[in-house]
Amino acid sequence: MSTVTTPDAELMQRLHDEHASALWSFVLRLTNGDRARADDITQETLLRAWRNLDALEPSRGSPRTWLFTVARRIAIDEWRARRIRPEFSTDVLPERPSTTDDTDGILQTWLVADALSRLSEDHRAALVCCYYEGRSVRDAASMLGIPEGTVKSRLHYGLRGLKLALDEMGVNG
């Protein structure tokens, strides 16, 4: 099997042989020792050299200067891109946004508030004190200025009235 060599292929082979190791060492320092990134940047630099062979003419100056300048610019562009779009570690996945729908809970809150508004002030005060504020019967009695037995009675009849109001609204199933 014979290989066909063109002047461009010969130029690239010579460019690689003369400058690739120095270029890779330079890029390794630019990437703070990240060998994979240094490989990627070196490859991209040589690819750009192949696409722009006319820029490597000896009359335009040293090809090494051109290669090092292009590599430095690629490294800077990568650094800027990472600052704008930071990489995420794959060992810790970001939390998914909540997809729960709170519409039912909000509707129930409105319905219960409407049913509560249909109760007497005394029954509503006892229910709110004990069930929504979490107070004991003794604390509710002290706060409302009534005996504990009256609080218990108001809770009993208040819950019955609340159930009836919700039934009338078609909430209980």
pLDDT digits (tens, 9 = 90+) for 9-33: 887 888 888 888 898 999 999 888 8
Asked if residue 5 has pLDDT above 70, the reply is: no
- For the full predicted model, state whether its pTM sits above 0.85: no
For CA atoms 38, 42, 43, 48, give the dihedral sign: positive
170, two tokens? 């078609």
d(CA 64, CA 53): 13
d(CA 165, CA 128): 16
Is 19 within 8 Å of 62 (Cβ atoms)?
A: no
pLDDT at 40: 92
Chain-wide mean pLDDT for the chain?
84
Comparison of pLDDT for 39 and 84, the residue scoring more: 39
Is 43 within 8 Å of 88 (Cβ atoms)?
A: no
Interacting residues of 152 by C-beta distance below 8 A, sequence separation 6+ = 137
pLDDT at 130: 92
Comparison of pLDDT for 123 and 94, the residue scoring more: 123
Q: pLDDT tens digits for 98-153?
A: 677 778 788 888 888 888 889 999 999 999 999 888 999 999 999 999 999 999 99
End-to-end CA distance of the chain: 84
pLDDT at 143: 92
Is 132 within 8 Å of 151 (Cβ atoms)?
A: no
- Domains of the chain, with CATH numbers? 7-84 (1.10.1740.10), 112-168 (1.10.10.10)
